[in-house]
Structure 1
Amino acid sequence: MSPTDWLTSKGWSPFPFQKKVWQAMAKGQSGLLHATTGAGKTLAVWLGALQALAHQEAPLTVLWITPMRALSHDTLLALQDAAAGLAPDWTLAARTGDTSSSERASQQRRWPTALVTTPESLSLMLSRADAPEVLRRVKLVVVDEWHELLGSKRGVQLQLALARLRHWNPGLMTWGLSATLANLEEARDTLASGAVIVRGAQDKKIVIDTLLPPRIERFAWGGHMGLTMLPAVVARIEAAANTLVFTNTRSQCERWFQALLEARPDWAGLIALHHGSVDAELRRWVEGAMKAGQLKCVVCTASLDLGVDFLPVEQVLQIGSAKGVARLLQRAGRSGHAPGRASRVTLVPTHSLEIVEASALRAAVQAGDMEPRRPPEAPLDVLVQHLVTVALGGGFRPDELLAEVRTAPSYAGLGDDAWQWALAFVRHGGESLRAYPDFQRVMPDEDGVWRVPDVRLARRHRSNIGTIVSDAAMNVQFVTGGRIATVEESFIARLRAGDVFLLGGRSLELVRVEGLTAYVRTAPPGKALLPRWDGGQFPISDTLSHAMLVRFDEVGQGRHADREMRFVAPLLALQAQWSALPGESRLVAEVMTSADGHHLFLFPFAGRTVHLGLASLLAWRAGRDTPATFMMAINDYGLELLSATDVDWASRLPDLLEPVSRDTLREEVLASLNASELARRRFRQIARIAGLIFQSHPGEARSQRQLQASASLYFDVFREHDPDNRLLWQAQAELLSAELDVDALAQTLARMAAQTLDIQRPSRPTPLAFPLLVERLRERTSTESLAQRLSRMLAELEAAAGGGEVVDVKDRLAFGQSRAEPRTRSRRRRR
């Protein structure tokens, strides 16, 4: 049976782009397939594989790489259907961190023809002694959702794994699937240089609308759950057959799930919760129930961004801004997930300025604008880990492996000095650790082949393969048995026995903690904390921030492009009346004096990451001549600097914003921040990946406090005795590139230099300045006193603006971030 015949048997016809993929694969070509979500990418490559390789019945003919282990089960089901018709003799299986040890052992006795796995599990396979024999038979590697891996160390880990596979099989086919990429050529070359690019259907209809609140709030702030929109969301869910409700954090996911149940108790059993910390068995049940049409709604996070095929889903709701065009499109594609079906996403703003973001997101989608994703350059921690992995998987000769590593695009420019340092590091830990046996991980044998001679070190390395670094995850389970989910150790550490928190859609009471397990019992509903997970806040993308400035320019010209911009017109009119609207060519700064001190508000619209570096840089530059103390606050739209002494910002700001060379900017940024402590924190992650510290040993788990202490010790030893250690260099480089994004800061400074600086002197906080005030105040006061102060401020501002209803501030804060939820902190800097 041909792919066309199989599709015909299903009542479908092949698309032209699918035929192009089949033709390319029949010739043994590699490629990148880029098409909208639900256009048929998976079938295009999988049917091409079955056609081109159907005569191959050898074990491990195909490796299908998925970026999330939560997707492996659904992916496996999708592949099995077509395989049964086109290659009935093929066997398929999944191998991820969720795969049981018994199932792994069974696979190793007889490997399947096609294996669905993750980058981490593939690296584990490379560390097997029989890896050359087993993996040299692989004819095709398919990387699903390549955009999700491309810009991360996980993608670099996969690059190195592919280089190893190509060393064993130079004719290896590699295909990537993606729906949301702006830099296609770079993405293609990073995966497989010289591969073909097949562009699939890009005309999928995407309907984007906004669920507007009953009235506009002219003075709004971010950082709360958005539950004031609960009645409207309930109504929208009620009107649809089924809905996915996306949130940006797991904490928000938990709270919205509870709120929906409280609002509609009759939906118990019809709505479900899905995020990456929920137990794998429960996640699979939720996915199956949704596909079977048994659920009316699933409240979820990025755990359902990718891959899972929910054909029946009628609509997607996005709580809060998606913060980026690609993320919005990915989530929209979960509805109408089939060729010819429209995708529908409704944005649910949590505050008024997110309504502008909603309008800008739609405009960017209509213009075809999207964010590029670029791979990291030669991270040595990933390379060091790979060297030990390859030494376990049959060993290596340094010269041969260097040539192989340089075929991975991220390491194409790897210098001889860096390579020699990496070899020395895995051989004896470098000069400062040479005396310690635990760092003598890889040794050359009498034939010059580098191997791992110590079985204990081999087990320890295999237990810690991977580049995903986070707070230690603790199991949460009932005292009577039954695992619920995982949660960060730092959250459990701040609780006492008897405290109540929400997790897995339940209200739980902590009973005791033993090791890395928290034992709980069901608690009656009441006041609860929200669990904390890292990675909760997305910065606004450059693409979205530019689209917002375009919208402001249109308003300045008297045009309100859509219903969202007409709705926020009173807020923007007040901003223009009391100050000015930012724009593509206008940089607005507001200088104001209050009882708190002297304020500078600046609105570059460059995202919170850039604003953190910019605020620190401005405070440092301003204090070089005259020492001063600054407090600062940031959000995605701008920054605030508050000082007790007056600063002549009108005359000084143009010079303080002056662009400088990249090297000078790096030095200034490092000088302006507590760079040592920030680099120390970054070093912890690098030390974990490089194998200096271990999350767990076989039969033992280590607490986050132990890991941090160990990493800090190494950091101090290297700084004192080995200052040229390249992991220290990497920590500083990643601090500047990933956490502070100095390149984006340099571009922002250059953009601001080309803008007209419009310095305004409002007599009171403007609609754009007010959220920054709240951001700073919430760090210094309790919720009760903050509520009182905000109520007073809002009443005064609304009165000055000509009247208006004041929101229930206490209620808004109660629905807001709990003390367990991470948020941007205001910072004090003494200059």
Structure 2
Amino acid sequence: MLARADDPCTLLIAPTGGGKTLAGFLPTLADVATTPHEGLHTLYVSPLKALAADIKRNLRAPVEEIDLDIRIEDRTGDTSQTVKRRQRVDPPHILLTTPESLALLTSYEDAPRIFKGLKRVVVDEIHALAESKRGDQLFLALARLQSFCPDLKRVGLSATVDHPEDIAKLLARNPDPCKILYADPGPAPDIAMLETDEAPPWLGGGAAYAIPAVLEQIKAHRTTLIFHNTRAQAEIFFHNLWLANDESLPIGIHHGSLDRQQREKVEAAMVRGDLRAIVCTGSLDLGIDWGDVDLVIQVGAPKNVKRLVQRIGRANHRYNAPSKALLVPANRWEVVECVNALQAVLEGDLDGDPRGPGPRDVLCQHILLRAASGPFDADGLYTEMTTAGAYVDLTRDAFDTCLEFCATGGYALKTYDRWQRLQQRPDGEWRLRDPRAAARLRMNAGTIQDSDTLKVQLKRNRGGKPLGEVEEAFAATLTAGDTFLIGGQIVRYEGLRDMTVQVSRNASRKPRVAVFSGTKFSTSTQLSQRTLRYLQADSWPDLPAHTADWLQLQRSMSRLPEPGRLLVETFERDGRQNMCVYGFAGRNAQQTLGLLLTKRMEDMDLAPMGFVSSDYATLIWGLDKVVDPHPLFDLQTLKSGLDGWLAGNALMKKTFRGAATIAGLIERNSPSARKSGRQATFSSDILYDTLLKYDPDHVLMQITREEALRGLVDFSRIEVLLNNVEGRIDHVAAPHVTPLAAPLLLEVGKVPVQSGSAEERLLAEETAALMNDSGLSKV
């Protein structure tokens, strides 16, 4: 199937390195070359600022070679205000931007003039946007653009899509169709697990055991990307790697908490080919074209097959060359997960869960930004919104509720002037009550909800070099003289000045590690189920001997978890009664299950004392033995417990703060200053308590519950688990700790001490004791 220039919507799925980005721009280059065009012709939207900068660099090369008179510019959060003002007056032919910057552009009074003549929108890495609120924000903005330019053509580009039809529906203007094009997938990737002399530990995420083997791989390749799932893990690994780097190989680090100049310095060094390796996170997941990268190393289980495919594609970023990648499991269980992820990649079995309807907090923000651009008709805006993929099923009642919230704040808040933001004119159109509010709305627009962070900079009389950011909660624990890692450097905390963490360089002590705001992923449902099925094999020849023997010992001492059944183990240790529940539901759901089960156990006078969770199990310890676990897993009882637990839980307040910030109820930025995290938390907590007491059905309270159940709590996965199990619970009363429970029990046994070496020694001794007690020393 071939795309035509007059197709209203096209989704191109092509392997990394296949030239899909250039293919997306070819119609633009051909059109502008043959027909002079005034103003903005094509808008390119990407999830990452770095990707927009990379595309600008790569696109300019053919334009200059052909000597085309085409202006190409980017507009992101890093673009200066001077350039942004000039772009509004005199837009380039091709503008490269992000969803946030596009939403802001549509909010200006002169938006119709800015976008007059726009012919095409190219959305790169659309799969990454389709799974987040940033995508919802983007598709609402596209609906706005389509109202300016009815003949606007939409193009989506992606290498990893699990359900292409769903992505196509999001991209298209409802009810227009969207044509899907599939390119030749190219050669299969060359992927394997990294062989190491030392076996991985029972727990942990640092993979320090693999440092020597990773260094050998760096030496054997031109350029290596070393991906991590969190920023803190990346910092730890980079520090350990640098300490072992006896040959002083040039190695960099890149993640979202680093200062922009430091990130750009690393990116420029990569483009020049000056670095042999770069330790990174999701900040480099997407499409940056570094052809000299010939190896990707994923440290830690990828948790998600699509993410692994995306990262693998960064190596040999060419269509006809197989991507080469190595996986480094951080602990014993991750060995099993990595083997299954590799098999899924080779089979093309991508994972992904349907997202459901578009979130209403994003819808509220869009209404306010629409008002910032001038008066609007509610009927017309509702019709426009329902052409956006995620909002095609939006009811008029739901829209009107959001409009009422934007206008007055809702029933419990309508008496306060600060939330009286919109008013209806005699002609029926809605407008801002105070036109000056438009600037504040733009200052607080966006859907990315970072944890509360503080800038870190080297201490100087007039302000030193910025290094990046750390979470405010982490900064609050620091005292003068404490050391921590940031950007691969060990720094010494000197003090807090003007909401900035002042530090000095100090390489003489073992550092603490900053608590960065990177996402901690949960293993996908599909990968979890694949792993469960894998455990049912008679043997596992593709596993290292130490891990295969570990599973066989679990089978002989207890049993292995099975699909459609729930394994519950109970055993005694050190006078405490332990219960381990193998739900394979992902970390968030297993954490929620622990909370609900301990509450249920309290109701049954079983005296629970605490719990720990992983992606595959929850371990609960207490004073009384669980003789029959079946009553604990009644779904309706757990639901009731969830309702009671959610009502006053701190997690709900945090979720409320995020939704209220996106919806515009809470401002983080003002013309004078940005609120600290504590100030914003205080404000949102008061609002939450007020609405809970006086208006529990307020639209933001509804959104908060929906967000919590879908995201941080992930109760839907618990429901799916228990519905699939249907009471089939395998209870094993073990005489002592079992092989699969041992890593979780080690988490319980961790002792916080000041000396890092003492902590490692205590952990090693506890590991040895557990292994000897249960016969695991043979593994």
Structure 1 residues 415 and 779, CA gap change in structure 2 (3 angstroms): farther
Question: Aligned residue for 2:457?
Answer: 477
Pair 1:132-2:132 in alignment? no
Contact in 2 for aligned 1:222/1:351 (Cα 8 Å): yes
Distance 1:576 1:720 in 2: 52
Q: How many angstroms apart in 2 are the aligned matches of 1:426 and 1:802? A: 63
What residue number does 1:40 align with? Answer: 19
Alpha carbons 2:14, 2:159 under 8 Å: kept? yes
Q: Which residue of 2 aligns with 1:544?
A: 527
Q: Secondary structure at the match of 2:128?
A: helix
> 1: distance between equivalents of 2:142 and 2:575?
58
Equivalent residue letter for 1:681:
K
CA shift, 1:582, in A, is 2.0
Distance in 2 between residues matched to 1:434 and 1:674, nearest whole Å = 23
- Secondary structure at 1:396's aligned position in 2? coil
Root mean square deviation, CA, Å: 2.4
Q: 1:178 to 1:312 in 2, by over 3 A?
A: same
- Letter of the 2:385 partner, please give it: V
Q: Is the 8 A contact 2:188 2:346 kept in 1?
A: no
Residues 684 and 711 in structure 1, CA contact (< 8 A), matched pair in contact too: yes
1:728 aligns with 2:701: yes
Long gaps (5+) in structure 2 = none
User: SS at the partner of 1:550?
Assistant: helix
For 1:296-315, what aligned pairs fall within 5 Å after superposition? 296-315=276-295
SS of the aligned residue for 2:154 comes to strand
Q: Is 1:607 matched with 2:586? A: yes
Q: Is the 8 A contact 2:45 2:97 kept in 1?
A: yes
The reply on whether 1:714 has 2:687 as its aligned counterpart is yes
- How many residues end up aligned between the 2 structures? 771
Distance 1:565 1:259, change over 3 A: closer
* Residues 247-396 of structure 1 aligned to structure 2 (within 5 Å): 247-267=228-248, 270-396=250-376
Question: Per-residue CA shift, 1:376-405, capped at 9, x if unaligned?
Answer: 523221111111111111331111111111
**Structure-2 change in CA distance of 1:781 and 1:510 (3 Å):** closer
Of the candidates 632, 657, 665, which is equivalent to residue 633 of structure 2?
A: 657
Tell whether the 8 Å contact from 1:243 to 1:314 is kept in structure 2 after alignment.
yes
Distance 1:640 1:407, change over 3 A: same
Question: 1:433 aligned to 2:405?
Answer: no
Cα separation, 1, equivalents of 2:657 and 2:472: 16
Alpha-carbon distance in structure 2 between the residues aligned to 1:611 and 1:779: 23
1-structure distance, mates of 2:85, 2:759: 58
Counterparts of 1:54-69 in structure 2, within 5 Å, are 54=33, 55=35, 57-69=37-49
Distance 1:127 1:265 in 2: 54
* Aligned residues of 2:750 and 2:763 also touching (Cα < 8 A): no
Q: Which moved more, 1:699-708 or 1:200-209?
A: 200-209
Query: Which position in structure 1 is the counterpart of 2:97?
Result: 117
- Deviation track 1:139-195 (CA, whole Å, cap 9, x = no partner) reads 111111111111211111111101111112222111111122211111110111510
CA contact (8 A) 1:274 1:301 kept: yes
Which sits farther off after the overlay, 395-404 or 53-62?
53-62
Alpha-carbon distance in 1 for matches of 2:388, 2:185? 30
CA–CA separation in structure 1 for the residues paired with 2:3 and 2:227: 37
Query: What whole-Å deviation, never above 9, does each CA across 1:58-96 have from its counterpart, x for those lacking one?
Result: 211111001012222112112222334568122110000
Change (3 A) 1:778 1:794: closer
Which residue type is aligned with residue 241 of structure 2? L
Distance in 2 separating the partners of 1:625 and 1:590: 19
SS of match in other structure, 1:176? strand
Are 1:441 and 1:453, in contact at CA under 8 Å, matched by a contact in 2?
Answer: yes
Residues 138-217 of structure 1: pairs in structure 2 closer than 5 A: 138-192=118-172, 193=174, 194-216=177-199
Cα distance in structure 2, aligned partners of 1:138 and 1:87:
22
Cα distance change on mapping 1:327 and 1:574 into 2, 3 Å: same
- Alpha-carbon contact 1:590-1:601 (below 8 Å) kept: yes
Do 1:476 and 1:517's aligned partners in 2 also have CA atoms closer than 8 Å?
A: yes
**Partners of 2:165 and 2:639 in 1: CA distance:** 29
What is the deviation of 1:327? 0.9
Q: Which residue of 2 aligns with 1:590?
A: 569
Name which of structure 1's ranges 340-349 and 424-433 shifts more when overlaid on structure 2: 424-433
Do the aligned partners of 1:166 and 1:172 also contact (CA within 8 Å) in 2?
yes
1:739 corresponds to: 712
- Report what 1:769 is aligned to: 741
Q: Which one is further off, 122-131 or 787-796?
A: 787-796
Listed as ranges, the matches of 1:489-528 within 5 Å are: 489-528=472-511
Q: What is the Cα deviation at residue 758 of structure 1?
A: 3.0
Q: Deviations over 1:708-731 (max 9, x none)?
A: 000011111212222221101110
Identity percentage over the alignment? 35
Residue matched to 1:26:
5
Asked whether the 8 Å contact 1:364–1:543 carries over to 2, the reply is no
1:693 to 666, 672, 676: 666
Name 2:549's counterpart in structure 1.
Answer: 570
TM-score (norm 1): 0.88
Q: Secondary structure at the match of 1:512?
A: strand
Quote the Cα distance in structure 2 between the aligned partners of 1:77 and 1:114: 13
Are residue 758 (structure 1) and residue 726 (structure 2) matched? no
| 8 A Cα contact 2:751 2:759, kept in partner | no
Describe the superposition over 1:595-623 as per-residue Cα deviations: whole angstroms up to 9, x where unpaired: 24221112122211221233333344455
Once the two structures are TM-superposed, the CA of residue 657 in structure 1 deviates from its matched residue by: 3.4
SS of residue matched to 2:726: helix
8 A Cα contact 1:62 1:115, kept in partner: yes
CA contact (8 A) 1:476 1:519 kept: yes
**1:77 & 1:205 partners in 2: Cα distance?**
29
Residues of 2 paired with 1:683 and 1:336: CA distance? Answer: 43
8 A Cα contact 2:28 2:41, kept in partner: no
1:125 is matched by which residue type in structure 2? L
Whole-angstrom CA distance in 1 between matches of 2:190 and 2:320: 13
Q: Is the 8 A contact 1:777 1:786 kept in 2?
A: no
What is residue 486 of structure 1 aligned with on the other side?
469
1:519/1:351 Cα in 2 relative to 1: closer, same or farther (>3 Å)?
same
Indicate whether 1:684 and 2:657 are aligned: yes
3-state secondary structure, aligned to 1:258: helix
Task: Check whether the contact 2:291–2:315 (CA below 8 A) recurs between aligned residues.
Answer: yes
> Any gaps of 5 or more consecutive residues in structure 1?
1-19, 807-831
Matched, 1:778 2:757: no
